[in-house]
């Protein structure tokens, strides 16, 4: 089963011709409409006419997250604001968000990606898709939502939270496809048992899980406990959101929608492209996007590509699971968190010590964030309530800065390791590779 067989099973040479045609077009569009790209290309004396096919992509300059921050909010849009019909945003280090604008065509392209992903997971137009990703500025919920509608299946836009109600609706509406984070899927399985449900009460066949790192062990746990096929999906809001790549039922790497997003793997040391199969940083060029086309965008995700033909018949290049980040960004319950955001909240509080340590763990299959802060003379009091007030205020300030709740733990002064070089600020106890 394919959603778009003509594209998904296109021969590699036809695909290359399509990619070439689209690359030539997008390079011309960004050069004409985005100041930053014109400046970057002018600086290396590269003209749009120098890009004749996808083989010339290596001549183009990279784009990094900082470029998006520098152009906050709309500086990198390649169309007039009136053509933008939707905005999404994700957190960035400076407290400012990374803003992404979508035209009508962009939303249609994104929905197409997720419709293809749903079919890869086994959905049909008869399916009922339970979307438990958060709806909002975060792309997870709305991405899968429009993908389901594009497929012609029934979407249940339940969003996140209220697990008891989720279970009731999953049962009563007979959802066969579940979309959420993998840790929430395990949590749902546990709550099912607690609430006295049996697997027979549900009609689930597959789940599409993403927005956070997860292991093969977690996949086995989910598949055994929910008796479903657990499918891995990849995306980032800068490119479009979930659906940039997704596994098929063979579960042997995620098919990149490479008619829309051209992937490269580069060396983080030399920034030179690496041959297919080698591990390095994943880079994408959006070939059709109108709102905010990105040229050779460095995702900071480390993985490898795989171009061996897939038994499912799709011809797209696949990406293997992301095994690490090349920056210090943490993904906690699907939300991007940078240690520098935490640092800036601490620095803005006159009572807080700037010495901190971040501990990320997975407790009962949910990500938990703990921020250890050193006690200081300025903060200390002989009264508990004074210290508790400080902790509560800091926890509130953190939550509004990083959009994830954090437990604040006060530790002894000078107990956090001082380092002369790059401070080791993070202990991530979640198993990633």
Partner 1 sequence: MLVNQVAVFLENKQGRISDFCKALSSADINLITMSIADTTDFGILRAITDDNDKAIKVLKDAGFTVSSTDLLGIEVEDKPGGLADVLSTMDNAGINIEYLYSFVKKDGKAMILFKVANIDETIEICKNKHLKIIDTGISIK
Q: Which residues bind partner 1 (CB under 8 A)?
A: 375-377, 380-385, 387-388, 409-415
Q: Concatenated DSSP letters for 54-99?
A: GGGGGGSPPB-HHHHHHTTTTTT-SS-GGG--EEEEE--TTSSPEE
Least distance in angstroms from the C-beta of 415 to partner 1: 7
Q: How far apart are CA 95 and CA 111, in angstroms?
A: 29
Nearer to partner 1 by Cβ, of 87 and 411: the residue is 411
Nearer to partner 1 by Cβ, of 276 and 375: the residue is 375
Do 208 and 235 form a contact (C-beta atoms < 8 A)? no
Helices (H) and strands (E) in the chain, counts: 11, 21
Nearer to partner 1 by Cβ, of 209 and 390: the residue is 390
Least distance in angstroms from the C-beta of 414 to partner 1: 6
As to burial, measured by CB atoms within 10 angstroms (0-12 exposed, 13-18 middle, 19+ buried), residue 354 is exposed
Nearer to partner 1 by Cβ, of 254 and 410: the residue is 410
Nearer to partner 1 by Cβ, of 43 and 384: the residue is 384
- Please state, as a whole number, how many other Cβ atoms lie within 10 Å of the Cβ of residue 414: 11
Nearer to partner 1 by Cβ, of 6 and 382: the residue is 382
Least distance in angstroms from the C-beta of 382 to partner 1: 4
Closest to 264 in 3D by CA, of 290, 286, 243, 248: 286
Q: How far apart are CA 397 and CA 185, in angstroms?
A: 29
Do 245 and 235 form a contact (C-beta atoms < 8 A)? yes
- Residue whose tokens read 């099973």: 9
Least distance in angstroms from the C-beta of 374 to partner 1: 9
- Please state, as a whole number, how many other Cβ atoms lie within 10 Å of the Cβ of residue 205: 17
Least distance in angstroms from the C-beta of 379 to partner 1: 8
Least distance in angstroms from the C-beta of 398 to partner 1: 16
Nearer to partner 1 by Cβ, of 283 and 416: the residue is 416
Least distance in angstroms from the C-beta of 409 to partner 1: 5
- Residue whose tokens read 């080698």: 278
Contacts of 347 (CB under 8 A, 6+ apart): 354
Nearer to partner 1 by Cβ, of 165 and 407: the residue is 407
Q: How far apart are CA 275 and CA 54, in angstroms?
A: 15
Q: Indicate the SS3 state at residue 183.
A: helix
Least distance in angstroms from the C-beta of 362 to partner 1: 20
- Residue whose tokens read 């977690």: 218
């Amino acid at each position: 089963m394919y959603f778009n067989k003509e594209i998904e099973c296109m021969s590699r040479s036809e695909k290359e011709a399509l990619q070439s045609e689209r690359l030539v077009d997008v390079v011309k569009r960004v050069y004409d409409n985005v100041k930053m790209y014109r400046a970057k290309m002018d600086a290396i004396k590269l003209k749009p006419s120098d890009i004749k096919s996808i083989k010339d992509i290596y001549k183009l300059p990279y784009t990094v997250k900082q470029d998006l921050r520098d152009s906050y909010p709309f500086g990198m849009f390649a169309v007039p604001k009136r053509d933008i019909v939707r905005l999404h945003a994700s957190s960035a280090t400076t407290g400012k968000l990374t803003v992404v604008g979508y035209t009508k065509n962009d939303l249609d392209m994104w929905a197409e990606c997720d419709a293809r992903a749903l079919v890869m997971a086994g959905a049909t137009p008869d399916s009922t898709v339970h979307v438990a990703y958060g709806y909002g500025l975060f792309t997870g919920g709305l991405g899968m939502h429009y993908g389901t509608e594009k497929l012609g299946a029934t979407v249940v836009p339940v969003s996140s939270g209220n697990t008891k109600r989720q279970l009731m609706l999953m049962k009563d509406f007979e959802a066969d496809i579940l979309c959420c984070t993998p840790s929430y899927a395990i949590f749902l399985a546990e709550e099912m048992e607690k609430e006295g449900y049996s697997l027979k009460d549900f009609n689930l066949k597959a789940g599409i899980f993403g927005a956070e790192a997860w292991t093969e062990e977690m996949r086995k746990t989910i598949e055994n406990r929910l008796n479903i096929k657990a499918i891995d999906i990849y995306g980032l809001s800068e490119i479009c959101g979930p659906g940039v790549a997704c596994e098929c039922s063979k579960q042997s790497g995620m098919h990149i929608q490479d008619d829309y997003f051209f992937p490269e793997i580069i060396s983080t040391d030399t920034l030179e492209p690496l041959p297919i199969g080698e591990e390095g940083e994943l880079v994408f060029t959006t070939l059709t996007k109108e709102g905010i086309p990105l040229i050779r965008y460095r995702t900071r995700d480390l993985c490898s590509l795989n171009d061996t033909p897939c038994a499912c018949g799709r011809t797209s290049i696949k990406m293997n699971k992301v095994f690490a980040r090349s920056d210090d960004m943490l993904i906690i319950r699907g939300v991007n968190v940078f240690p520098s955001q935490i640092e800036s909240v601490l620095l803005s509080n006159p009572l807080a010590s700037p010495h901190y340590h971040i501990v990320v763990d997975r407790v009962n299959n949910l990500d938990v964030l703990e921020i250890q802060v050193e006690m200081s003379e300025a903060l200390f009091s002989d009264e508990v309530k004074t210290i508790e007030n400080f902790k509560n205020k800091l926890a509130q300030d953190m939550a509004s800065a990083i959009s994830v709740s954090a437990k604040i733990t006060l530790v002894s002064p000078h107990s956090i390791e001082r380092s002369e070089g790059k401070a080791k600020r993070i202990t991530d106890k979640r198993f990633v590779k």
